[in-house]
Amino acid sequence: MKKIGFIGLGNMGSKMVTHLLKSNYEVVGYDINQEYIDQLSPNGLKKANNLNDVSKGTDIIITMLPNGDIVEEALDNIIDRLKPGTLITDCSTIDVNKAKELHKKCKVKNLFFLDAPVSGGVGGAENGTLTFMVGGDENAYKMMLPLFGVMGQKSLLCGTYGSGQATKACNNMLLATTMIGVGEAFNLGTNLGLDPKKLFEILSTSTGSCWAVNNYCPIAGVGPKSPADKSFEPGFSASLMYKDLSIALKAINDTNTLAPFGIKAQENFRQMVNDKKGDLDFSAITKFNE
């Protein structure tokens, strides 16, 4: 049985670790917030007092952290202490170029590295239904595959280094733009006197059908339960969507890609965050575009 180190035990990481522990993996975890460690210790998590403890004898290290700079800082603290062949899997959402830099750092030290951001939010982490978008070496991916299967429902090796982050940027840009479009469609329907429940029945089964309508409808009392039914209590906050769209915007600029809708979506979420609404679920953007 491989020994796993896990760095970052917040809303996402804690639930991912719980699935690993339930599957009887040996996990040593670290977070700057001691309370997160204490909450998981009764479930079998071994406590790491610092990052050095995570690096001792571990075969695989998983990181789930807020941004690329923090991921790099954590890696720099442990990289010289890891045994050759150790696999580091970063499940954070970070800049594509930063992911490529971390791959190179690990390769020099004879370490494996996968960039493997997730889709599914806190609910997906809790239910074990995450999707992992993976970039890196095929052998490293095969090494990680059993753990992806424990923490999520689907994983896909998207390509070489940075491909996981690139895929995540594309996915979330599309999600943001479709959610805005869904909100506009319902607003128009309301102004035309339509019953939103009946409009949902049509949109969810016609050519306008999409995940934002079918699974995450931003109208309270319409469709499956969603954050709209809980005053937009976040499953995935507007602040996180803004961060992800900013990563996408950098990629847009770096590649000279024509993406006016993606750029506009980033502007809309930036305004929502500036208006102190970033703690709401990202689907609340439909209310601030009215």
Which DSSP symbol is given to 77?
H
| Alpha carbon distance 98, 247 (integer Å) | 11
Q: Where are the beta strands (DSSP E) in 40-111?
A: 46-47, 60-63, 87-90
| Active-site residue flag, 154 | no
Place of tokens 């491909």: 163
Burial of 134 (0-12, 13-18, 19+ CB in 10 A): buried
| Alpha carbon distance 222, 66 (integer Å) | 32
Of 168, 243, 264, 276, which residue is the catalytic one? 168
Residue 158 corresponds to which tokens in the numbers above?
Answer: 């998207």
Max CA separation in the chain (angstroms): 65
Burial of 224 (0-12, 13-18, 19+ CB in 10 A): exposed
Phi and psi at residue 135, in whole multiples of 5°? Answer: -125, 135
Angle at 33 (CA atoms; ends 32, 38), nearest 5 degrees = 120
Which DSSP symbol is given to 11?
T
The region that residue 255 occupies, defined by phi over 0 for left and psi between -120 and 50 for alpha, beta otherwise, is: alpha
Place of tokens 């102004």: 191
3-state secondary structure at position 72: helix
| Alpha carbon distance 17, 7 (integer Å) | 10
Residues labelled catalytic: 168
